[in-house]
Amino acid sequence: MVGPLALRRAEKYGFCAGVRIADRTVRKLASEGRRGKILGQLVHNERVVSDLVQLGFATAASLEEVRAGTIVFSAHGVPPSFHRRALERGLLVVDTTCPFVYDVHEEARQALEAGFHAVFIGDSAHREVIGYTRDLDPGDYDIVQTTADVDRIDFGRHPKVKIFYQTTLNSEEYEDVALAVEGAAAHAERADTICYATKENQDAARDLAADPEVDCIVVVGGRHSANTRHLWEICRAAQPRSYLVHGTDDLRADWFADCGGVGITAGASTPDSMIEEVEGAIRSLAASPAPASGPLAAPEAAL
Protein backbone atom coordinates (compact mmCIF):
# COMPACT_ATOMS: atom_id res chain seq x y z
CA MET A 1 0.00 0.00 0.00
CA VAL A 2 0.98 3.63 -0.53
CA GLY A 3 -0.40 5.37 2.57
CA PRO A 4 -3.81 4.88 4.17
CA LEU A 5 -6.38 3.18 1.99
CA ALA A 6 -9.28 5.36 0.83
CA LEU A 7 -12.45 3.64 -0.31
CA ARG A 8 -14.94 5.47 -2.45
CA ARG A 9 -18.31 4.13 -3.49
CA ALA A 10 -19.93 5.27 -6.71
CA GLU A 11 -22.64 7.89 -6.32
CA LYS A 12 -25.22 5.34 -7.52
CA TYR A 13 -24.86 1.58 -7.19
CA GLY A 14 -26.57 -1.63 -6.11
CA PHE A 15 -30.23 -2.61 -5.88
CA CYS A 16 -32.49 -0.58 -8.12
CA ALA A 17 -36.02 0.20 -6.94
CA GLY A 18 -37.56 -2.58 -9.03
CA VAL A 19 -35.21 -5.27 -7.74
CA ARG A 20 -35.51 -4.03 -4.15
CA ILE A 21 -39.32 -4.24 -4.35
CA ALA A 22 -39.17 -7.73 -5.87
CA ASP A 23 -36.82 -8.95 -3.16
CA ARG A 24 -38.88 -7.43 -0.35
CA THR A 25 -42.11 -8.82 -1.81
CA VAL A 26 -40.88 -12.41 -1.75
CA ARG A 27 -39.32 -12.04 1.70
CA LYS A 28 -42.62 -10.66 3.01
CA LEU A 29 -44.49 -13.63 1.56
CA ALA A 30 -42.03 -15.95 3.31
CA SER A 31 -42.45 -14.10 6.61
CA GLU A 32 -46.21 -14.72 6.34
CA GLY A 33 -45.61 -18.43 6.02
CA ARG A 34 -46.19 -18.59 2.28
CA ARG A 35 -44.16 -20.88 0.04
CA GLY A 36 -43.91 -21.12 -3.72
CA LYS A 37 -41.69 -21.06 -6.80
CA ILE A 38 -40.02 -18.24 -8.68
CA LEU A 39 -40.02 -18.51 -12.47
CA GLY A 40 -36.33 -18.09 -13.21
CA GLN A 41 -34.04 -16.25 -10.84
CA LEU A 42 -35.79 -13.38 -9.11
CA VAL A 43 -32.64 -11.38 -9.79
CA HIS A 44 -29.32 -12.46 -11.26
CA ASN A 45 -27.48 -12.85 -7.99
CA GLU A 46 -26.52 -16.20 -6.52
CA ARG A 47 -26.63 -14.98 -2.92
CA VAL A 48 -30.17 -13.69 -3.27
CA VAL A 49 -31.30 -16.87 -5.02
CA SER A 50 -29.79 -19.03 -2.25
CA ASP A 51 -31.43 -16.91 0.46
CA LEU A 52 -34.83 -17.23 -1.17
CA VAL A 53 -34.48 -21.01 -1.50
CA GLN A 54 -33.87 -21.17 2.24
CA LEU A 55 -37.05 -19.12 2.74
CA GLY A 56 -39.14 -21.56 0.70
CA PHE A 57 -39.04 -19.96 -2.74
CA ALA A 58 -36.96 -22.08 -5.06
CA THR A 59 -36.37 -21.31 -8.73
CA ALA A 60 -38.44 -23.04 -11.41
CA ALA A 61 -37.02 -23.31 -14.91
CA SER A 62 -40.45 -23.44 -16.55
CA LEU A 63 -44.07 -22.73 -15.77
CA GLU A 64 -44.88 -26.42 -16.19
CA GLU A 65 -42.75 -27.26 -13.16
CA VAL A 66 -45.13 -25.36 -10.88
CA ARG A 67 -48.18 -27.56 -10.34
CA ALA A 68 -49.84 -25.79 -7.42
CA GLY A 69 -49.52 -22.87 -5.05
CA THR A 70 -47.78 -19.57 -5.68
CA ILE A 71 -45.75 -18.59 -8.73
CA VAL A 72 -43.62 -15.45 -8.61
CA PHE A 73 -42.79 -13.64 -11.84
CA SER A 74 -39.40 -11.97 -11.51
CA ALA A 75 -38.38 -8.37 -12.07
CA HIS A 76 -37.33 -9.29 -15.64
CA GLY A 77 -40.96 -9.87 -16.66
CA VAL A 78 -42.60 -12.66 -18.61
CA PRO A 79 -44.54 -12.99 -21.87
CA PRO A 80 -48.11 -11.76 -21.30
CA SER A 81 -49.47 -15.22 -22.08
CA PHE A 82 -47.76 -16.60 -18.98
CA HIS A 83 -50.26 -14.78 -16.78
CA ARG A 84 -53.15 -16.52 -18.51
CA ARG A 85 -51.42 -19.89 -18.46
CA ALA A 86 -50.63 -19.61 -14.76
CA LEU A 87 -54.21 -18.74 -13.89
CA GLU A 88 -55.48 -21.63 -16.02
CA ARG A 89 -53.28 -23.94 -13.95
CA GLY A 90 -54.88 -22.60 -10.78
CA LEU A 91 -51.72 -20.87 -9.59
CA LEU A 92 -51.64 -17.76 -7.45
CA VAL A 93 -49.59 -15.21 -9.37
CA VAL A 94 -47.33 -12.73 -7.60
CA ASP A 95 -45.97 -10.36 -10.24
CA THR A 96 -42.78 -8.44 -9.37
CA THR A 97 -42.05 -7.24 -12.92
CA CYS A 98 -40.15 -3.95 -12.96
CA PRO A 99 -42.35 -1.02 -14.07
CA PHE A 100 -39.74 -0.04 -16.68
CA VAL A 101 -40.02 -3.50 -18.23
CA TYR A 102 -43.79 -3.13 -18.34
CA ASP A 103 -43.30 0.20 -20.10
CA VAL A 104 -41.33 -1.54 -22.85
CA HIS A 105 -44.07 -4.17 -23.25
CA GLU A 106 -46.66 -1.42 -23.62
CA GLU A 107 -44.63 0.75 -25.98
CA ALA A 108 -43.83 -2.27 -28.17
CA ARG A 109 -47.52 -3.19 -28.30
CA GLN A 110 -48.46 0.33 -29.35
CA ALA A 111 -45.70 0.44 -31.96
CA LEU A 112 -46.84 -2.82 -33.55
CA GLU A 113 -50.44 -1.63 -33.62
CA ALA A 114 -49.24 1.53 -35.39
CA GLY A 115 -47.57 -0.54 -38.10
CA PHE A 116 -43.97 -0.43 -36.91
CA HIS A 117 -41.57 -3.35 -37.16
CA ALA A 118 -39.88 -3.81 -33.76
CA VAL A 119 -36.11 -4.19 -33.48
CA PHE A 120 -34.90 -5.20 -30.02
CA ILE A 121 -31.23 -4.56 -29.25
CA GLY A 122 -30.28 -7.14 -26.67
CA ASP A 123 -29.56 -10.76 -25.87
CA SER A 124 -32.14 -13.12 -27.39
CA ALA A 125 -31.52 -15.58 -24.51
CA HIS A 126 -32.11 -13.00 -21.77
CA ARG A 127 -35.41 -13.49 -19.96
CA GLU A 128 -36.33 -9.83 -20.33
CA VAL A 129 -36.04 -10.03 -24.13
CA ILE A 130 -37.85 -13.38 -24.19
CA GLY A 131 -40.65 -11.72 -22.27
CA TYR A 132 -40.99 -9.03 -24.92
CA THR A 133 -40.91 -11.30 -27.94
CA ARG A 134 -42.20 -14.80 -27.17
CA ASP A 135 -45.85 -13.97 -27.81
CA LEU A 136 -45.18 -11.94 -30.96
CA ASP A 137 -45.41 -13.03 -34.58
CA PRO A 138 -41.79 -13.71 -35.66
CA GLY A 139 -42.38 -11.52 -38.69
CA ASP A 140 -43.12 -8.51 -36.48
CA TYR A 141 -39.72 -8.19 -34.82
CA ASP A 142 -35.99 -8.85 -34.95
CA ILE A 143 -33.42 -9.15 -32.15
CA VAL A 144 -29.93 -7.78 -32.83
CA GLN A 145 -26.68 -7.39 -30.92
CA THR A 146 -24.22 -6.45 -33.66
CA THR A 147 -24.14 -4.51 -36.90
CA ALA A 148 -23.75 -7.85 -38.68
CA ASP A 149 -27.14 -8.86 -37.26
CA VAL A 150 -28.59 -5.65 -38.68
CA ASP A 151 -27.12 -6.39 -42.12
CA ARG A 152 -29.10 -9.64 -42.26
CA ILE A 153 -32.46 -7.87 -41.98
CA ASP A 154 -34.39 -6.97 -45.16
CA PHE A 155 -35.55 -3.49 -44.16
CA GLY A 156 -37.21 -3.07 -47.53
CA ARG A 157 -40.08 -5.09 -46.06
CA HIS A 158 -40.52 -2.69 -43.14
CA PRO A 159 -41.55 0.90 -43.95
CA LYS A 160 -41.39 1.92 -40.28
CA VAL A 161 -39.08 0.59 -37.56
CA LYS A 162 -39.10 1.15 -33.80
CA ILE A 163 -35.88 0.44 -31.88
CA PHE A 164 -36.00 -0.93 -28.33
CA TYR A 165 -33.12 -1.62 -25.95
CA GLN A 166 -32.91 -4.32 -23.31
CA THR A 167 -33.16 -2.14 -20.21
CA THR A 168 -29.95 -3.41 -18.60
CA LEU A 169 -27.72 -2.53 -21.55
CA ASN A 170 -25.12 0.18 -21.80
CA SER A 171 -26.84 2.11 -24.60
CA GLU A 172 -23.64 3.93 -25.62
CA GLU A 173 -21.98 0.58 -26.26
CA TYR A 174 -24.71 -0.29 -28.75
CA GLU A 175 -24.91 3.11 -30.44
CA ASP A 176 -23.32 1.71 -33.60
CA VAL A 177 -26.03 -0.96 -33.78
CA ALA A 178 -28.81 1.60 -33.43
CA LEU A 179 -27.18 3.82 -36.04
CA ALA A 180 -26.94 0.82 -38.40
CA VAL A 181 -30.68 0.22 -38.03
CA GLU A 182 -31.43 3.88 -38.64
CA GLY A 183 -29.18 3.87 -41.70
CA ALA A 184 -30.79 0.78 -43.19
CA ALA A 185 -34.44 1.59 -42.51
CA ALA A 186 -36.50 4.08 -44.48
CA HIS A 187 -37.96 5.41 -41.23
CA ALA A 188 -36.70 4.52 -37.75
CA GLU A 189 -37.53 5.77 -34.28
CA ARG A 190 -35.97 4.94 -30.92
CA ALA A 191 -37.99 4.06 -27.86
CA ASP A 192 -36.62 5.38 -24.57
CA THR A 193 -36.20 2.02 -22.84
CA ILE A 194 -33.02 2.33 -20.78
CA CYS A 195 -34.25 2.55 -17.19
CA TYR A 196 -33.10 5.54 -15.17
CA ALA A 197 -31.48 3.33 -12.50
CA THR A 198 -29.32 1.57 -15.08
CA LYS A 199 -28.25 4.88 -16.61
CA GLU A 200 -27.49 6.45 -13.23
CA ASN A 201 -25.40 3.45 -12.17
CA GLN A 202 -23.50 3.52 -15.44
CA ASP A 203 -22.88 7.29 -15.33
CA ALA A 204 -21.68 6.98 -11.73
CA ALA A 205 -19.34 4.13 -12.73
CA ARG A 206 -17.80 6.34 -15.43
CA ASP A 207 -17.24 9.13 -12.92
CA LEU A 208 -15.66 6.68 -10.48
CA ALA A 209 -13.32 5.27 -13.12
CA ALA A 210 -12.28 8.79 -14.16
CA ASP A 211 -11.39 9.85 -10.61
CA PRO A 212 -7.59 10.38 -10.51
CA GLU A 213 -7.52 9.34 -6.84
CA VAL A 214 -9.01 5.91 -7.62
CA ASP A 215 -6.25 3.42 -8.44
CA CYS A 216 -8.44 0.34 -8.89
CA ILE A 217 -12.12 -0.53 -8.89
CA VAL A 218 -14.08 -3.48 -7.57
CA VAL A 219 -17.46 -4.18 -9.17
CA VAL A 220 -19.72 -6.42 -7.07
CA GLY A 221 -22.51 -8.52 -8.54
CA GLY A 222 -23.89 -11.83 -9.72
CA ARG A 223 -21.85 -13.93 -12.11
CA HIS A 224 -24.74 -14.00 -14.61
CA SER A 225 -25.88 -10.40 -14.17
CA ALA A 226 -25.80 -8.52 -17.47
CA ASN A 227 -25.99 -5.08 -15.90
CA THR A 228 -23.15 -5.88 -13.48
CA ARG A 229 -20.90 -7.03 -16.30
CA HIS A 230 -21.71 -3.84 -18.23
CA LEU A 231 -20.66 -1.77 -15.21
CA TRP A 232 -17.36 -3.67 -15.11
CA GLU A 233 -16.83 -3.06 -18.84
CA ILE A 234 -17.46 0.66 -18.36
CA CYS A 235 -14.97 0.83 -15.49
CA ARG A 236 -12.35 -1.25 -17.27
CA ALA A 237 -12.43 1.07 -20.30
CA ALA A 238 -11.14 3.96 -18.17
CA GLN A 239 -9.45 2.09 -15.32
CA PRO A 240 -7.79 -1.17 -16.48
CA ARG A 241 -7.40 -2.31 -12.88
CA SER A 242 -11.10 -3.03 -12.55
CA TYR A 243 -12.21 -6.35 -11.07
CA LEU A 244 -15.57 -8.10 -11.16
CA VAL A 245 -16.34 -10.12 -8.04
CA HIS A 246 -19.33 -11.99 -6.70
CA GLY A 247 -18.24 -11.84 -3.09
CA THR A 248 -15.34 -11.73 -0.67
CA ASP A 249 -13.89 -15.07 -1.79
CA ASP A 250 -13.04 -13.56 -5.19
CA LEU A 251 -10.88 -10.77 -3.77
CA ARG A 252 -7.07 -10.90 -3.92
CA ALA A 253 -4.74 -8.99 -1.63
CA ASP A 254 -2.26 -8.19 -4.42
CA TRP A 255 -4.89 -6.08 -6.18
CA PHE A 256 -4.63 -3.51 -3.40
CA ALA A 257 -0.92 -3.75 -2.54
CA ASP A 258 -0.06 -0.40 -4.14
CA CYS A 259 -3.49 1.24 -4.15
CA GLY A 260 -4.13 4.49 -2.35
CA GLY A 261 -7.74 4.67 -3.46
CA VAL A 262 -10.20 1.86 -4.26
CA GLY A 263 -13.52 2.50 -5.97
CA ILE A 264 -16.52 0.26 -5.36
CA THR A 265 -19.69 -0.09 -7.38
CA ALA A 266 -22.30 -2.82 -7.72
CA GLY A 267 -24.91 -4.09 -10.13
CA ALA A 268 -28.64 -3.58 -9.72
CA SER A 269 -29.04 -7.15 -8.46
CA THR A 270 -26.49 -6.79 -5.64
CA PRO A 271 -27.88 -6.56 -2.09
CA ASP A 272 -26.49 -4.03 0.37
CA SER A 273 -25.13 -6.79 2.62
CA MET A 274 -22.78 -8.07 -0.11
CA ILE A 275 -21.40 -4.60 -0.75
CA GLU A 276 -20.74 -4.11 2.96
CA GLU A 277 -18.98 -7.47 3.18
CA VAL A 278 -16.77 -6.76 0.17
CA GLU A 279 -15.84 -3.31 1.45
CA GLY A 280 -14.89 -4.74 4.85
CA ALA A 281 -12.83 -7.49 3.24
CA ILE A 282 -10.96 -4.99 1.05
CA ARG A 283 -9.98 -3.01 4.16
CA SER A 284 -8.73 -6.20 5.81
CA LEU A 285 -6.77 -7.33 2.75
CA ALA A 286 -5.22 -3.90 2.26
CA ALA A 287 -4.04 -3.93 5.87
CA SER A 288 -2.40 -7.35 5.42
CA PRO A 289 1.23 -7.78 4.34
CA ALA A 290 1.60 -7.79 0.56
CA PRO A 291 2.31 -11.20 -1.08
CA ALA A 292 5.98 -11.94 -1.66
CA SER A 293 5.66 -12.46 -5.40
CA GLY A 294 3.35 -13.17 -8.26
CA PRO A 295 2.03 -11.05 -11.13
CA LEU A 296 -1.00 -8.84 -10.70
CA ALA A 297 -4.10 -10.65 -11.84
CA ALA A 298 -5.81 -9.54 -15.03
CA PRO A 299 -9.24 -7.95 -14.50
CA GLU A 300 -10.91 -11.11 -15.80
CA ALA A 301 -9.35 -13.20 -13.02
CA ALA A 302 -12.28 -12.75 -10.69
CA LEU A 303 -14.91 -13.79 -13.21
- More reliable by pLDDT, 300 or 9: 9
170-213 pLDDT per residue, tens:
677 789 999 999 999 999 999 987 677 888 899 999 999 999 99
**What is the mean pLDDT of the segment spanning 75-104?**
94
Average per-residue pLDDT for the chain: 90
Given pLDDT bands bounded at 50, 70 and 90, which one contains residue 291? very low
Q: Establish whether 233 is a catalytic residue.
A: no
205-238 pLDDT per residue, tens:
999 999 999 999 999 998 888 889 989 999 999 9
- More reliable by pLDDT, 288 or 53: 53
Q: State the CB neighbour count (10 A cutoff) for residue 109.
A: 14
> What are the chain's domains?
6-14+197-302 (3.40.1010.20), 17-98 (3.40.50.11270), 100-190 (3.40.1010.20)
Is the pLDDT assigned to residue 87 strictly greater than 50?
A: yes
pLDDT of residue 125: 93
pLDDT of residue 234: 92
In this prediction the pTM is 0.80
Question: Given 46, 64, 113, 128, which residue is catalytic?
Answer: 128
**What is the mean pLDDT of the segment spanning 33-50?**
90
Secondary structure string (H, E, C) spanning 115-161: CCEEEEECCCCCHHHHHHHCCCCHHHEEEECCHHHHHCCCHHHCCCE
Gap between the Cα atoms of 13 and 44, Å rounded:
15
Is the pLDDT assigned to residue 303 strictly greater than 50?
A: no
